[in-house]
Amino acid sequence: MLADRESQLLDNLEEALADPLRSARSFEGEMAESRRLRFERRRLALLVALGDLSGRFDLTRVTGLLSDFADDALDRAIRTAIRERTPDVEPRGFAAIALGKLGSRELNYSSDIDPILIFDPVTLPCKPREAPEDAAVRIGRRVIELLQSRDADGYVMRVDLRLRPSPEATPIALPVDAAISYYESQALPWERAAFIRARACAGDIALGEAFLAAIRPFVRRRAVDYGTIREIRDISRRIRDHYAQAQAFGPKYDLKRGRGGIREVEFFAQIHQLIHGGRDPALRVPATRDALAALAADGRIDADDAAALSAAYTELRTVEHRLQMVDDLQTHTLPAGQEALDNVAALHGLRDGAALIERLRPHVERTGRVYDALAGEEEPRLPADPETLEACLKEAGFDHPAGALRIVEGWRGGGYPALRSPQAREALEALLPGLIAAFAQAPDSTHAITRFDAMLSRLPSAINFFRLLEAQPGLRQLMSTILCHAPTLAEQLGRRAELLDGLIDASALDPVADIPTLIGEMAARERGADYQWQLEHVRRLVGEKRFALGAQIVAGASDPLEVSYGYARIAEAAIEVLARATVDEFERAHGRVPDSELVILALGRMGDRRSPTPRIST
C-alpha cells in the first residue's frame, strides 16, 4: 500500500496536508526526471486521498490538486524532452493544450489527460540539419514516454492524443499555423464542444494562448450552430446505446456514461454554453459546476435544475474517486459483487452497498430527467423499406407516391454533392418526416418535392441547413409554403439555391433599403470588372431582392403596399446604375454626344413607385 511505501509522509501529516504539492516534491536523492515524477505522483495521490477521505479536501480541492500536478508534470516532461536533445537552448516553441477534465481542472485519480501538442517551426529548438516537423514528433514521443511508461515505481499519467485533428493521419505534434487553419475551416461540430474547456497548460504558454486566441471565433460563435448541439445530443444517445448494460441503475451502473451520470451533467452545461456563450463572455467558464452556476445566474437555465445537477455532479464524482482509490483502476462502474460494493460504500462513510445505491439514486434520476428534457424524444423516422415507404407516402397524401419514392431513395443514395457524407444523410433523415408532411399538404405535392429536389441538387453542402430546418419549424414552414404555394418563387429557389441564405439568417424579411443605399450596393464593382460583369451583378442583386420581397408576402411579414414600394425602389436603383454604366460604356466605345443627357421616364405604377413589374419608356 502507498501508506507503507511513503510512511515518512505520515510522520508529519498535518504539515503535509497543508501543502500537498510541495510535500509530494520534498524528498531526498538524485534521480532522473521520469523517476522523480513517478515518486511525486504516488506521494500526491496518497496525500490527496487522505485529505479527501478525512473530509478536509472538498471535490474542488481534490480535482484542483490532481490537475495542478498534471500541468506541472506535463510541463517538466516537455522541457526535459527538449533539453535532452538541445541542452544549451531555452525550451520554447512547443506547447500542450489541455482539453477535457484537465482543461477544466477537474481531473480524477485515474484520469487520462487529453492534450493537443502544437509547435512553432520558427522557434522550436532543433538539432543541426533537422526539420522542425521531425524534431516536434520526436519531442512529443519522448514526452509520452516520460509520462506513461511503467516500471517498478508505477507511472505518471496516461496520455491520449486522439482528440487532435484526424489522429489516424496526422503527426502527434501539429504546426501551429496548420492547426489554426484546420479549426477555422475543417473542424467537426463536436470539436467545438471539446474546446469549451481548453487552455494552454504546459510548455510555451504564450504560444498556446496565441493559438487559442486565433481559434476563439471557431469555438465561441455569436450565431447558434444547431449542428453542434445536435452532434452533442447524438454523442449522448450513442453512449447510452453502446453502454446499454451499464444504463440500469444499481450494481454495475456506470457513473460516467450511464443515464443521469457525470457525462450528462457535463453535456447539459456545454450545450447551453454553446448556445449562449458566443454572446455572453460571463458564461465562458470551463469547470462544470461553475458553468451551471453562471448559466443559472444569467437566467439561461432553471436555478433549481442547476443546483440539483451541481449536487449530483459532486456526489457522482466523489464516489467515482472512491472506486479509483481501489488498486488505482481507471474505472467508473459500480462493482457487481456485494463485498466490493460494500467496500466502496465504506470508503464513502456509508454502512453498505445498499445505502450507497440509495444515496446516489435521487441524483441519477433527477439528472436523467433534466437531460432527457433537453435531448428530447427519439425522433420519428421514415421507413427504410421501399414498399412500406411508398405506402407511407401515399397515406400522407402524395398524388404520385411512386415518383416521390424515387426522389427520396435518390437522396438516401447520396447522389448529390450535399448528400455524400453519412452526417449529411443522417441530418436529412431527421428532417424528412416533417418535410414530407409539409409537401404532402401542397396543392401539387409532386411539384413541391420536385422543386426541393432541384434546389438540393445545387447545394454544395447541406448538413447545417438540414439541422437548422429541423431546429426552426418556422423556417421549415416558410420554405415549404414557398415551394408549395408560390410557383414563381419556388422556381427561383430551384435555380439559385443561394437564395436560401436570406431565409436562413432572416435577412430576406428585412425592409428594402432606400434608393441611395441600393444604388451604392448595385454600383459596387470588382477591380477590373467590365460592363458585362456590372450587368450580371445588378441582375443577381435584383433577383435576390425580388425573391426576398416575395418571401415577405408569403410569410405575412410585410404590408403588401410596402412590398410594392420596395419593388419600385429596386427597379429605380437598378435603372439608375445600369443607365450610368451604359452611358460610360457608350462613351468608351464611341465618345460622348455633345450637350446630351439620357432621360428615363417611369409610367404607370412605376411612375407612382408601387409597381412590381415596371414599364419604362426612354
Asked whether residue 385 carries a pLDDT value surpassing 80, the answer given is no
More confident position, 360 or 183:
360
pLDDT tens sequence across 164-193: 988 888 999 999 999 999 888 777 767 777
Instruction: Assign 612 a pLDDT band (cuts: 50, 70, 90).
Output: very low
Provide DSSP, 329-358: ----B--SSHHHHHHHHHHTT-SSHHHHHH
More confident position, 32 or 227:
32
Instruction: Assign 541 a pLDDT band (cuts: 50, 70, 90).
Output: confident
Please return the burial class of 588, using the count of CB atoms within 10 Å of its CB with bins 0-12, 13-18 and 19+. exposed
CA distance 590 to 154: 89
Average pLDDT estimate for 282-292:
93
Average pLDDT estimate for 152-172:
89
Q: 428 is written with which cell numbers? A: 436529412
pLDDT tens sequence across 317-342: 999 999 998 877 788 999 999 999 99
More confident position, 235 or 517:
517
Q: 506 is written with which cell numbers? A: 432572416
Most confident of 76-80, 508-512, 525-529: 76-80
Most confident of 60-64, 244-248, 406-410, 586-590: 60-64
pTM of the model: 0.63
CA distance 283 to 278: 9
Most confident of 43-47, 375-379, 594-598: 43-47
Helix, strand or coil for residue 119?
strand
- Torsion angles phi and psi, residue 200, rounded to 5: -75, 120
pLDDT at position 175 is 97
Asked whether residue 551 carries a pLDDT value surpassing 80, the answer given is no
More confident position, 454 or 2:
454
CA dist 199 → 273, 278, 520 (Å): 16, 17, 45
pLDDT tens sequence across 472-526: 666 666 777 777 667 677 667 656 656 666 555 555 566 777 888 878 878 866 6
| Positive or negative: CA dihedral 469, 294, 215, 179 | negative
pLDDT at position 472 is 66
Instruction: Assign 616 a pLDDT band (cuts: 50, 70, 90).
Output: very low
pLDDT at position 106 is 95
More confident position, 203 or 435:
203
Residue of 153, 150, 152 whose CA lies nearest to 45: 153
Asked whether residue 466 carries a pLDDT value surpassing 50, the answer given is yes
CA angle 163, 168, 174 (to 5 degrees): 60
Asked whether residue 615 carries a pLDDT value surpassing 50, the answer given is no
Q: Which helix (H) or strand (E) holds 48?
A: helix 33-53
pLDDT at position 529 is 67
Relative to beta strand 114-119, strand 601-602 is unpaired
Residue of 494, 481, 616, 492 whose CA lies nearest to 546: 492
CA distance 230 to 427: 9
Q: Which of 15-29, 455-469, 542-556 has the lowest mean pLDDT?
A: 542-556
| Positive or negative: CA dihedral 8, 14, 17, 21 | negative
CA angle 271, 178, 80 (to 5 degrees): 95
Q: Which of 287-301, 396-410, 436-450, 474-488 has the lowest mean pLDDT?
A: 474-488
pLDDT at position 585 is 82
CA distance 337 to 328: 18
Contact 502, 531 (CB under 8 A): no
Percent with pLDDT over 70 in the chain: 83
Mean pLDDT of the chain: 83
More confident position, 137 or 602:
137
pLDDT at position 499 is 67
Question: Terminus-to-terminus CA distance in the chain, angstroms?
Answer: 99
CA distance 500 to 419: 17
Asked whether residue 195 carries a pLDDT value surpassing 80, the answer given is yes
pLDDT at position 135 is 97
Asked whether residue 223 carries a pLDDT value surpassing 70, the answer given is no
Contact 257, 74 (CB under 8 A): no
